[in-house]
Amino acid sequence: MAVRPIVLYPDPVLLRPTSPVEVVVDDIRTLVEDMRDTMYAAPGIGLAANQIGVGLRVFIVDLTAGDEDGNLHVFVNPEVREAEGTEVGEEGCLSFPDVLLDVPRAPRVTVEALDLDGKPFEVTADGLMARAMLHEIEHLDGQTFLRNVSSLKRELVKRQIKKRIKAGDWVAAVDA
Ligand code: ZN
């Protein structure tokens, strides 16, 4: 169990596609424990492995941010199988402290992945769960939610981030 530092944009590990997990071994289960501890400490509702600097295709979601037991969902090697429609909703990201963006996403999505025993499963979700899964898979693809906003908005946010980095005001919610 360990809370790990959260990697902030524009760290290169957030901008590179992650690698699939070859076999779900104990190291992966330990990674997921650390991801869970880090996400709950923030607190946040979703975390991708590269957000703690590990370039593997793993993400977790818990819409209660750990407030209620039994809501942690773990996805190893996730792939989107189906995504329907578009709905705009506000999103934050642990790698972009205090940045909120209106992001269009499919409101209903089917994702295929492996669980922590290496067994394949499929989940269809809508609403916030669908949004969180798509946000995290985007991280694993080496992208961030910035790619979904207009280029004008994107440049504005990047400029604000540069200013905040200069001012020493670009720090993660968790300091481990
Ligand atoms: Zn994020």
Contacts of 126 (CB under 8 A, 6+ apart): 107, 108, 109
Catalytic residue chosen out of the listed positions 33, 136, 138, 155? 136
Strand, coil or helix: what is 68?
coil
Known catalytic residue: 136?
Answer: yes
Tell me the C-alpha distance between 45 and 66, whole Å.
8
Using the mean position of ligand 1's atoms as its centre, give its distance from the Cα of residue 47 in Å.
Answer: 7
Q: What is the pLDDT of residue 173?
A: 73
CA angle 85, 88, 94 (to 5 degrees): 115
Query: How far does residue 131's CA lie from ligand 1's centre (Å)?
Result: 11
* Residue 176: predicted pLDDT: 46
Residue 85 Cα to ligand 1 middle (Å): 21
Question: Three-class SS of residue 87?
Answer: strand
Could you read off the pLDDT of 42-90 as tens digits, one per residue? 999 999 999 999 999 999 999 999 999 999 999 999 999 999 999 999 9
Tell me the sheet residues that pair with 122: 112
Calculate how far, in angstroms, residue 30's C-alpha sits from the geometric centre of ligand 1.
21
Helices (H), 65-150: 127-140
Tokens standing for residue 53: 């600097």
CA of 118 to the centre of ligand 1 (A): 25
Write the CA distances from 164 to 8, 9, 160, 161, integer angstroms.
Answer: 12, 12, 6, 5
The single-letter code of the amino acid at 145 is F
Q: Counting beta carbons within 10 angstroms of the beta carbon of residue 89, is it exposed (0 to 12), middle (13 to 18) or buried (19 or more)? A: middle
* Spans in the chain with pLDDT lower than 50: 175-176
Of 65, 38, 63, the C-alpha closest to 49 is: 38
Asked whether the beta carbons of 15 and 158 are under 8 A apart, the reply is no
- Identify the pLDDT of residue 174: 60
| Residue pointed to by tokens 């809370």 | 3
Q: Are 158 and 143 in contact (CB under 8 A)?
A: no
